[in-house]
Amino acid sequence: MCGIAGLWAPKLDPNERRRHVEGMLRRLTHRGPDGFVTWSGAGVTLGLARLAIVAPEHPASVSVNEAGTVAAVANGEIYNYRDLQSRLAARGFQPADGPDTMVLPHLYEDAGAEFVSQLDGMFAIAVWDAPRERLVLARDRAGEKPLYVAGSHPRFAFASEPAALLGLPWVGRDPAPAAIARYLVHGFFGNGDSAFSALHQIPAGHVLEVGPASERVRRYWRPWDGLLTARRPAGDREMVTETRNALATAVESRLPSDVPFGVFLSGGLDSSLVAALAARTGRSFPTFSLHLPGKGYDESAHAREVARTIGSEHHEVSIDDRNAEELLDRIEAGMDQPLGDPSLLPTWALSRFASQHVRVVLTGEGGDELFAGYPTYLGHRLAGVANRIPLPVAAVLRSLTHRLTPRDTHVSIPHLVERLLSVRDLTPLERHVEWFGTLGRTEVPALLSEDLRTALDPGDTRANFASVGRALDDIGGAKGSNPSLVVYQLLDFELYLSGGLLVKVDRATMAHGLESRAPFLHHPLVEYAMALPSGAKLRGTTGKWVLKRAAEGLLPKPIIYRRKQGFAPPFSSWVRGPLRGLVLSKLEPRRVGRAGVLDPAGVLRILKEHLLGEAEHGRAIWAILCLQLWAERWLLGSASDTESDTEIAAHSLGHS
């Protein structure tokens, strides 16, 4: 696990080019606190800030073949590197001993840019091919590790985080209107989006090849490819056994051999299963959970029960409105791109605490997308009923359910009914994005400043989910009034998981030099789960049916079959209560106007509706607040003008 950066700029003086890359690495030391190193070839410099997980006794190094013609840096872990070493040795190569990334130059020599398909891991990789004057960048299948790029040949740069690239004097900080509009719709920057117009991400599962006269991006893996070649569905008993075995294999493949590890244990099914299967390997490890105030938010008692069941050393962290303000300050300082998910608060606190005990944590990300765990999947089955309710009756029901929705929980029957009735006129994919999203796409333009609003095209806010819909055309069932269950799963995998959940976990853990690993994202498990019949995942009103059956005997039944809660703080009620003054101060109209990204009147309308109880805008207010704080730090006042690289890194680490 590391932070990586590089610069291909043949016209720059080599020493200047190296200084620029070193400057980028200094902004990434929170990702790699165990030393950094650079390597230079003809016109290119690669850099690595290392977090030593595999072969921790080895110093930071750029991986280079014997001839010095192929060099590579990587952020992440290659879990099957020992198998790759053996295969390469059998083909006459001599990979050097050391970290997992040492196999990359020889693997590239053997397979060219197709090498990435042989990797089992989470990674962002850069390979320099000197004979061909080609830079190859690749990102893992699900998008666990980030990779941003700026410019084009003859001045092309890449890095693990935007802040590193923004330290380059020729990279501007103008906001990206269309991407920011989509952020307000989704709550994250998905696909190739970035908040800065000068930057973009390499999407998950893609390879970018950059040469002197061309750039070519291609996708090397899609989570739905297995659907096209899936074998005949097995019976229930066989599917349950296969599911348990596939997840057990995935968990075992993610256990580190050289450093201690722990498990983030929410008390939900996914993380509890990961912990239980890790315990069955005979390894001892601590578990970490969070105590949150509020009846509908706190899962700590369930986490303690799981910890007792598997015999783990359990740790619990508490956050409430009193330390939320301090956490918000830390997050603001450490995030160079906004993230509209208030669960970033508890994830940040948990990561900070866990980093004092271990260097690696296993998490449960991906289980809901693979096995249909979100209530929205069931909601689509009920949407037809909602659409047949006459409009006047639907309006009365919405008003009633709004009044009945408890303010101390974010998962309740009245809340779900209200959400169901609010999207009756949308297409199925639009309905799904509305349920999962932050703001309706028709609401967003009024929230943007005039400059950003006038730069929008009509289709900008729906571009990401529309592109996923087009990509899914070849599996069938994505169009029409009743898409199959797997279409919604894949939409969440492509957008919400990659752009939101995995970004949250990566930034929160890496801000504290902690590596997270998600066993559910083992790509054979992804392909297997997506190809399961719908009835194995959503049976009646039970989501994750086959996963729950697979968990029997490993976990207490009340843990397996209790209703999903989600991992989020009661930010909505905090805004109406103890954090009201803080939020109003940071979103004060004159302050919003000066930042130049949001419209003061639009923001004020959202705040008033929420504070008066006329609408539920907690998640939207978090997204707006993060966008405003980002604009103040990165657009109004250049971070490089106010803080040194060392101070930026210290903030990101959570130090004062």
Predicted pLDDT of residue 96: 78
Predicted pLDDT of residue 629: 96
Q: Which residue has the higher pLDDT, 302 or 394?
A: 302
Among 111-125, 139-153, 249-263, 424-438, where is mean pLDDT lowest?
Answer: 424-438
Contact of 128 with 72, CB cutoff 8 Å: yes
Q: Which residue has the higher pLDDT, 629 or 232?
A: 629
pLDDT tens by residue, 342-398: 999 999 999 999 999 999 999 999 999 999 999 889 888 877 666 666 666 666 666
Contact of 50 with 2, CB cutoff 8 Å: yes
Predicted pLDDT of residue 530: 94
pLDDT tens by residue, 563-606: 887 778 999 999 999 999 999 999 999 999 999 999 999 999 99
Element (DSSP H or E) covering residue 454:
helix 450-454
99/242 Cα distance (integer angstroms): 32
Residue 290: count other Cβ atoms within 10 Å of its Cβ.
27
Residue 459: which residues within 8 A CB-CB, separation 6 or more?
466
Three-class HEC string of 77-129: EECCHHHHHHHHHHCCCCCCCCCHHHHHHHHHHHHHHHHHHHCCEEEEEEEEE
486/380 Cα distance (integer angstroms): 12
Hey, is 425 helix, strand or coil? coil
Q: Band of the pLDDT at 644, cuts 50, 70, 90? A: very low
pLDDT at 405 over 80: no
Kindly report, as residue ranges, where domains of CATH 3.40.50.620 are found in the chain.
Answer: 225-371+499-561
Percent of the chain whose pLDDT exceeds 90: 71
Residue 331: which residues within 8 A CB-CB, separation 6 or more?
344, 345, 348, 626
426/445 Cα distance (integer angstroms): 19
Q: Band of the pLDDT at 467, cuts 50, 70, 90? A: confident
Structure tokens of 549? 């059956």
303/317 Cα distance (integer angstroms): 12
Q: Band of the pLDDT at 647, cuts 50, 70, 90? A: very low
Predicted pLDDT of residue 652: 37
Peptide bond into 392 cis (omega under 30): no
User: What mean pLDDT is predicted for residues 644-656?
Assistant: 37
Element (DSSP H or E) covering residue 538:
strand 538-539
Largest CA distance in the chain: 75
Q: Which residue has the higher pLDDT, 176 or 298?
A: 176
pLDDT tens by residue, 87-102: 999 999 988 778 899 9
pLDDT at 536 over 70: yes
pLDDT at 283 over 70: yes
Kindly report, as residue ranges, where domains of CATH 3.60.20.10 are found in the chain.
Answer: 2-219
441/396 Cα distance (integer angstroms): 24
- How far separated are the first and last CA of the chain, in Å rounded? 24
Q: Band of the pLDDT at 402, cuts 50, 70, 90? A: low
Predicted pLDDT of residue 572: 93
pLDDT tens by residue, 34-70: 999 999 999 999 999 998 888 887 888 899 999 999 9
pLDDT at 411 over 70: no
Beta-strand relationship, 286-291 and 206-210: unpaired
Mean of the per-residue pLDDT values for the chain?
A: 89
pLDDT at 277 over 50: yes
529/319 Cα distance (integer angstroms): 35
Distance of CA 478 to the CA centre of its chain: 24
Contact of 519 with 159, CB cutoff 8 Å: no
Is domain 2-219 in CATH 3.40.50.970, yes or no? no
Alpha-carbon distances, residue 255 vs 263, 313, 355 (angstroms) = 10, 17, 17
pTM score of the predicted model: 0.92
User: What mean pLDDT is predicted for residues 12-39?
Assistant: 95
User: What mean pLDDT is predicted for residues 157-179?
Assistant: 97
Contact of 305 with 272, CB cutoff 8 Å: no
User: What mean pLDDT is predicted for residues 297-301?
Assistant: 88
- CATH class of the 225-371+499-561 domain in this structure: alpha beta
Predicted pLDDT of residue 397: 64
Predicted pLDDT of residue 363: 98
